[in-house]
Chains A and B, each alone.
Chain A
Amino acid sequence: MALNIILLVIIAIIMVLLDLPGLLKIEKKNKIKVLISYFLLLLTGFTLGLLLILEREPVSPTVIIERMLNLILGIGL
């Protein structure tokens, strides 16, 4: 498990290192937007991976979708 976490962190760091030169070269107008969305996505992915490794993942969206459909359509799924 510890190894997996280390691997995940390394992957995230490599990603940032690969992208950063490109990210810093964007024109001023969009820079903040791109940086925020980039790190937001990365953080989501990273947290998800971390939770999966720790086996503490939240309820899967498929289950939520199933429940919602049940609620709306009332089909016996």
Chain B
Amino acid sequence: MMLDLGKNSLKNISLRSASLIILVFFSLTGCWDNKDVTEINLITAVGVDKTTDGRVEVTFEIPRPSLTRTGQAGAGGGENSREKAVSLVSSKGDTAFIAVRSMVEKLAKDIFPSKMELLLIGEDLARAGLQEVFDLMERDPESNMTAKVLLVKGAPVKQVMEAESEQEKIPSLHLVKSITVNQDTFGSSKEARVIDILREVALPGKDPLIPVVEILEEKENLKVKNILVSGSAAFRGDKLVGYLTATETRGWLLAENKIKASVYSLPSPNDETKNISFEMYCENGQKKVEFIEGKPKLVIKIKATGDIGESQEPTDLTQPQMLKKLENKIKQIITEEVNSALNSAQKYHSDIFGFGDIIHRKNPQEWQKIKDNWPEIFSKAPTEITVEVKLKRSGYTRKGVEPL
């Protein structure tokens, strides 16, 4: 017993010390992929644009951690607050990949795009096609597929990225948050992630729609409040073909059933100068394609409920006739919005509603016949839009106060 013990111990000690030496050896020399957070440049936003000479320009927004740290209004805070919390670096190259890599020439540390939250795309690049950018995103394991995408209209991407935010230390986060909130509660803009665009680009019967940001007023010190995220850009495949206005975007969101709440206003039936506003919820949108004699007909059905949000005049709005009247008017407005969105889409030959995809999934044989000239068929297809509206609540009051 004892004998055995002694022998084992010797063997084990030598084994253990050998493995320990190997471990320490590797921990000192190895570590190929070991890079500390302080040795990488976190990237929060990437802008991609095409220069006039046809090369790709990539701009990174790199936050400086010590300045973005929240809740530390400490000693150096007052002095630092004048400094920008993010720095912008851009670089040009024949391809996006080369442009990204050549960025290293201008940076002290390695780039780390895994945490990028926003991808800004220039108008010229969008017209030429997004394939390259998205391929890079898909291929690179370090990229973030849930980053939001924004198209910059009528200005260089870099200019938008220079805008400063007063609410967020990192401007791109301001934009990202505003897109999400907007889609949920207002509907003038939609949310698009890289992965969504990737899927849509590849789908034969669906084209991507990307939200648009534009500069409202040119200023020396551009702020985020001076730029506006509103409307969206329709693509055919990966190429930009045209823009949808804010209301058209809302029409699209209604049909796609992606909106949670939105606000409408219409002139009061009693007094044309006064307005009544509504908050509409729970829109239940459905899309269908009906075949009439082998020709597709595009059908959109929307069910909406709503509250009365505000009235500028004190009529009792809860009377049944009154409600009916109001509901009809809202119905008209919504139908108009959806219709104009659909019309624009047909005008651009861009199937942003994914009707082709619906045919493809539900009726693959039919799709085989029409898929080659689907854009043409889509743009000429007859449409039908049905909207049902129901007003349910009126807030705390039935009737506004009558000022004397």
Contacts and interface: CB of A to CB of B under 8 A. Distances in A.
Contacts of B11: 21
B9 to A, nearest CB: 14
A50 B15 CA distance: 25
B18 interface: yes
Interface in B8-31: 11, 15, 18
Interface string A2-34: 000000000000100010010000000000000
Nearest to B7: A21
B3 to A, nearest CB: 14
A14 B11 CA distance: 13
A14 B15 CA distance: 10
A62 to B, nearest CB: 26
A21 B11 CA distance: 10
A21 B12 CA distance: 13
Interface string B304-343: 0000000000000000000000000000000000000000
A14 B14 CA distance: 11
Contacts of B18: 14
B63 to A, nearest CB: 40
Nearest to A22: B11
Contacts of B15: 18
B249 to A, nearest CB: 52
A18 B11 CA distance: 9
A74 B280 CA distance: 67
B15 to A, nearest CB: 7
B6 to A, nearest CB: 14
Contacts of A14: 18
A76 B11 CA distance: 56
B225 to A, nearest CB: 60
B55 to A, nearest CB: 38
A31 to B, nearest CB: 20
A49 B11 CA distance: 28
B246 to A, nearest CB: 57
A19 to B, nearest CB: 12
A77 B11 CA distance: 52
Contacts of A21: 11
List 3 tightest A-B contacts by C-beta distance, closest first.
A14-B18, A21-B11, A18-B15
Interface of A: 14, 18, 21
3 contacts: A14-B18, A18-B15, A21-B11
Interface of B: 11, 15, 18
